[in-house]
Amino acid sequence: MSAPRLPGALVDTGETLKFTWNGRQMSGHPGDTLASALLANGQRLVARSFKYHRPRGIFSAGSEEPNALVQLRRGAAQEPNTRATVAELFDGLHASSQNHRGSLNHDLLAVNDLMAPFFSAGFYYKTFMWPAKFWEKLYEPLIRNAAGLGRLSGQEDPDSYDHGFLHCDLLIIGAGPAGLAAALAAGRAGLRVILADEDFRMGGRLNEESYSIGDRSGADWAATACAELSAMALVRLMTRTTVQGAYDHGIYSALERCTDHLADSSGKPRQVLWRIYARRALLCAGATERSIAFGNNDRPGIMLAGAVRAYVNRFGVAPGRKVAVFTNNDDGWRTATDLLAKGVRVTAVIDTRKGGTRDLDGVRVDHGRQILDTSGRKDLKSITMDGGIRVEADCLAVSGGWSPNVHISSHMRGRPRWREDTAGFVTGGELPWGLSAAGAANGTLTLAAALGEGQATANRIAEDLGHAPDRTPLPRAEDEPFQITPFWHVTASTARAFVDLQNDVTTKDIAQSHREGFGAVEHLKRYTTLGMATDQGKTSNVLGLAILAEVSGRTIPETGTTIFRPPYTPVAIGAYAGRARGRDFRPTRLTPSHAWALENGASFTESGPWMRAEWFARPGEQGWRDSVDREVRMTRAGVGVCDVTTLGKIDIQGRDAAAFLNRIYANPFLKLPVGKVRYGLMLREDGFADDDGTTARLSETHYVMTTTTANAVPVFRRLEFARQCLWPDLDVHLISTTDAWAQFAVAGPNSRALLSRVVDDMDLSNDAFPFMACAEVTVFGGTPARLFRISFSGELAYEIAVPSRYGDAMIRALMQVGKDLDVVPYGLEALGVMRIEKGHAAGNELNGQTTAQMLGLGGMVSQKKDAIGTVLSQREEMTRDDGLRLVGLRPLERSEKLSAGAHLLNPGDPQDMAHDQGWISSVAWSPTLSHAIALGFLKNGAARHGEVILAHDPLRGRSQKVEVTSPHMVDPEGTRQRG
């Protein structure tokens, strides 16, 4: 049962929240964390450690928790490794312990603890090597199954996440005393302020200490400050919001947990990842207490002293009935007095500092003593001091001093600086843009000083940004000096003394690591795994470093430090992804005829960002091949229509447009007459083929370029580069019009007949509008359109473009007026079959690794002008006569299929890469030729038409003889398209 709460707690005891722990019913109150509720229910053993599976309890009261990691929620919403100390309690919460085999109480893997002498630092690098095969089969699976912490559900994350953007003058990270004082000052000075705190209640340690400010408690003062701030229009208070990372130029990422404190997210985003653009930032993230290393310092019941105060003062929970205190600084004493004030028995205060005289009424006080060992496997029972003095205690509050939370300040790789007086690292080196620190985060550990520093720093920032500072005097607050004499570990302890609780790194591991030569801090971290756990070493790094310094006879600054990496606390991967998942991973673009195609049986396929119709199935067709074959046959025999809107379209205008195009395309473009279209080949500047397409000249100064679908964006980018950077004074302007025009290929012997019913008042005869002609026309009585007589299919063909908004009407009209001509829509597959039959290169051939020569287009590259890529296309290895050339291929046994990706070999040659002759790039079954065909690249291929070679496909266990042909397999003379 839940114990009654101590007086003065910040939990609402008027309301009860039910939850289960390992299936057991428990209860708590609003304002509780799972950790405080577990303690209130007497649950002290909550976890098992990573390596030795030692029993562990709650160690802290915040996000630094190394021990109390639990599985929260159930089913697909299961969240492994959740820190009980920050999980807000809600009614119906389910939590269970993790990382044990058998029950939490009787963990079979606790046997590891007995094996500890053999599991010393880096032991796994020295064994498990024999026999070699056993690693993957035996050792590694054993290790993998034992390692890891919690378990993912294996199901899709059922929640959604959002991204948001915020701008401010001042981002204040942390709403403790310094942060609140800073926010008040900045807010009153008129700055746009964001105050973010990871807790669900603002105030930081003001909620957890027995401080008073002015005439009221610290917690009251914090609540009043928040009320004043809430009323300021330019101040945004963000609770449950952790600033996670600092990025260039004042950009910070912050995670807001919107529904984690509710039983159910009810369709709302679970978390929001904010990107905050801040002119200035102030780090008021406080400090994290660290432990002292002594024998068996990891038992359930051993806690940070500040956490003990938090549980007593904020949550009204006594973490023990007999509490001892072990400290090297004044905070230990504060713990004892707070406990006594709440009526909790204190059995001893042990201060490592020699020569102290302070006394406490009715409490055993030991100055200059150390704790050597503890007892109580699953629950602390007693402690033993030097001299063999044994004191009963079921809770030990340990304070080894405070480490400022400088994490964010080192995200730009700035190295923190050691501050002797308060024995902690403070911000140093290259700080994130505009970031400063105040309060405990800056090593200023007393209340009045923190308040003052927060206010003063905010005022300085306000003045920097041109605002008058806030002159409101601060209320009086206590300001006892903070005294600490660093004390890191008890060398007289013979039992293991833990430094990194989560990863089970002990003082002995550190000493051994140093002995083996891993003396650099980074080596220590990597060899022992110190600080590599889910807490990033928040409570252990400085302690480990100090012990390394001691064993290596150096000072802490000489020893150095590791730096922290984003994020400050672990962040759900789903939050970084936001809404970009599933179908919304990337935007989807639809062609103008999409709706019509959907109505007409099309199936669709991804083509870059587009969805394109791949074929239009008709009733009775047995499979996609039936549909595609029919579409090809009907197009080649009659007329077919295909939406080609996805091709990139670029409008090019200006007096120098011709000169510009002549430098962009490898083939000549200066003399293209108005009313004509030309095929163009673009090279990259390194001489390899980049893209191909057509450009039409509509007037003296107006051209329309098409690119491939895949390269629409990069080609436009490169044209702009050439225009702005290479030839800035050419009179030429570019607009991407891909989305502005709906474009349809109309192909086949009946295409002229069909289009003559569509285009207004125009002679489409071969004489009047020959192959490669173009014109601006109107269709259906006045709708503007552009007509190009170009052919990808090899048939008599046109492409007709209308403004996008008429695209849907256009496809319907074409189908309507062409009914008696048996007009057929064809999809991407039929388009592909026809282009392979014609030997046109597409994506599989234009893969960025091929040259004009390889594509059989070497003759197009004009040597008489300086176009992009011309010069480097002529390098020796790229112009070899025996290089790869595009060829057509067909199976010698005509009934066989071909497969793309097969390699070409000379029959009889060894089958290895040294004898590789090329590969098959594209395959199709040709309904026109009634056998399989392919395009491929073959060494010296142009001179080998008629040869029989081997298409070798060991991946699919096939090898077959193929005949080399010209790539132009249907109508090689091109009479049809000119007809």
Partner 1 sequence: MRYSALKILAEGLTGNRGWKPVWRTPEPKAEYDVVIVGGGGHGLATAYYLAKEFGITNVAVLEKGWLGSGNIGRNTTIIRSNYLLEGNQPFYELSLKLWEGLEQDFNYNAMVSQRGVLNLAHSDAQRDAYARRGNAMILSGADAVLLDRAGVRKLAPFLDFENGRFPIQGGLWQPRGGTVRHDAVAWGFARGADSRGVDIIQNCEVTGFTMQGGACLGVETSRGAIRAKQVAVCVAGSSSRVMGLAGMRLPIESHVLQAFVSEGLKPVIPGVITFGAGHFYISQSDKGGLVFGGDIDGYNTYAQRGNLPVVEDVCEGGMAVMPMIGRARLLRMWGGVMDMSMDGSPFIDRTGIEGLYFNGGWCYGGFKATPASGFCYAHLLATGGPHDTAAAYRLDRFRRGAPIDEKGAGAQPNLH
Partner 2 sequence: MIIDHPLLGPRDAAEFTVLGDAALIHRPDGMAEGAEAAFHDYVYLRDNPAGLHRELWYHEQGDRSWLVVTRNTLTHEITEVALARDVARAEGRSR
Residues 732-761 that bind partner 1 (CB under 8 A): none
Within residues 499-518, the interface with partner 1 by CB under 8 A covers: 508, 512, 515-518
**Distance (Å, whole) CA 400 – CA 378:** 23
Q: Does position 911 bind partner 1 by CB under 8 A?
A: yes
Tokens of 209: 């200490």
* Among residues 388, 623, 673, 728, the one that binds partner 2 under rule CB under 8 A: 728
- Give the distance, in angstroms, between the CA of residue 711 and the centroid of all CA atoms in the same chain: 26
Within residues 144-163, the interface with partner 1 by CB under 8 A covers: 144-145, 147-157, 159, 161, 163
Q: Does position 386 bind partner 1 by CB under 8 A?
A: no
**Distance (Å, whole) CA 42 – CA 762:** 92
Report the candidate in 317, 315, 394, 281 with the shortest Cα–Cα distance to residue 348.
394
Measured from the CB atom, is 359 or 430 closer to partner 2?
A: 430
Mask of contacts with partner 1, 316-355, x by CB under 8 A? ----------------------------------------
* Among residues 190, 566, 803, 972, the one that binds partner 1 under rule CB under 8 A: 566
Q: Does position 126 bind partner 1 by CB under 8 A?
A: yes
- Give the distance, in angstroms, between the CA of residue 259 and the centroid of all CA atoms in the same chain: 21
Q: Using DSSP, state whether 676 is helix, strand or coil.
A: strand
Q: How many CB atoms lie within 10 A of CB 557?
A: 12
* Among residues 190, 428, 469, 570, the one that binds partner 1 under rule CB under 8 A: 570
Q: Using DSSP, state whether 764 is helix, strand or coil.
A: coil
How is residue 667 annotated by DSSP?
S
Q: Does position 721 bind partner 2 by CB under 8 A?
A: yes
Q: How many CA atoms lie within 13 A of 359 on its CB side?
A: 2
Q: Does position 902 bind partner 1 by CB under 8 A?
A: yes
Q: Does position 675 bind partner 1 by CB under 8 A?
A: no
Q: Which strands, in side-by-side order, build the sheet including 677-683? A: 677-683, 689-699, 702-707, 648-653, 733-736
CB of 879 to partner 2, least distance (A): 11
Amino acid at 586: R
**Distance (Å, whole) CA 230 – CA 943:** 81
Q: Does position 959 bind partner 1 by CB under 8 A?
A: no
Within residues 392-421, the interface with partner 2 by CB under 8 A covers: 412
Q: Which stretch binds partner 2 (CB under 8 A): 144-152, 174-182, 192-200, 244-252?
A: 244-252
Report the candidate in 927, 928, 931, 921 with the shortest Cα–Cα distance to residue 899.
921
Q: Choose among partner 1, partner 2, none what residue 902 binds, the Cβ cut-off being 5 to 8 Å by kind.
A: partner 1
Q: Which stretch binds partner 2 (CB under 8 A): 186-194, 583-591, 722-730, 970-978?
A: 722-730
Q: Does position 605 bind partner 1 by CB under 8 A?
A: yes
Q: Which stretch binds partner 2 (CB under 8 A): 245-253, 473-481, 493-501, 625-633?
A: 245-253
Contacting residues for 247 by C-beta, under 8 A, at least 6 apart:
253, 411, 432
Measured from the CB atom, is 6 or 35 closer to partner 1?
A: 35
Q: Which stretch binds partner 2 (CB under 8 A): 12-20, 202-210, 455-463, 723-731?
A: 723-731
**Distance (Å, whole) CA 710 – CA 184:** 54
CB of 155 to partner 1, least distance (A): 6
Within residues 852-911, the interface with partner 2 by CB under 8 A covers: 865-867, 870-872, 874-875
Q: Choose among partner 1, partner 2, none what residue 765 binds, the Cβ cut-off being 5 to 8 Å by kind.
A: none
Give exposure, 945-976, as e/b (b: 16+ Cβ within 10 Å).
eebebbbbbeeeeeebebbbbebbbbbeeeeb
CB of 699 to partner 2, least distance (A): 21
Q: Are 429 and 415 in contact (CB under 8 A)?
A: yes
Contacting residues for 809 by C-beta, under 8 A, at least 6 apart:
none
CB of 149 to partner 1, least distance (A): 4
Q: Which stretch binds partner 1 (CB under 8 A): 78-86, 350-358, 465-473, 592-600?
A: 78-86
Measured from the CB atom, is 11 or 642 closer to partner 1?
A: 642
Q: Does position 687 bind partner 1 by CB under 8 A?
A: yes
Residues 872-880: contacts with CB within 8 Å, 24+ apart?
A: 872/685, 872/686, 872/687, 873/666, 873/683, 873/687, 873/688, 874/687, 875/687, 878/687, 878/851, 878/853, 879/853
Number of residues that bind partner 2 (CB under 8 A): 31
DSSP string spanning 36-71? HHHHHTT----EE-SSS--EE----SSTT-SS-EEE
Tokens of 438: 């105040």
Q: Does position 725 bind partner 1 by CB under 8 A?
A: no
Tokens of 842: 């597409």
Within residues 642-701, the interface with partner 2 by CB under 8 A covers: 656, 659, 685-686
Amino acid at 891: P
Within residues 252-281, the interface with partner 1 by CB under 8 A covers: 253, 273, 275
CB of 277 to partner 2, least distance (A): 7
* Among residues 699, 724, 816, 847, the one that binds partner 2 under rule CB under 8 A: 724
Q: Choose among partner 2, partner 1, none what residue 25 binds, the Cβ cut-off being 5 to 8 Å by kind.
A: none
C-alpha torsion sign, points 365, 302, 304, 540: positive
As a dihedral over the C-alpha atoms of residue 631, residue 636, residue 637, residue 643, rounded to 10 degrees, the angle is 50
Measured from the CB atom, is 713 or 860 closer to partner 2?
A: 713
Within residues 266-305, the interface with partner 2 by CB under 8 A covers: 277
Q: Choose among partner 1, partner 2, none what residue 134 binds, the Cβ cut-off being 5 to 8 Å by kind.
A: none
Chain positions contacting partner 2, by CB under 8 A: 247-251, 277, 412, 430, 656, 659, 685-686, 713, 717, 720-721, 724-730, 865-867, 870-872, 874-875
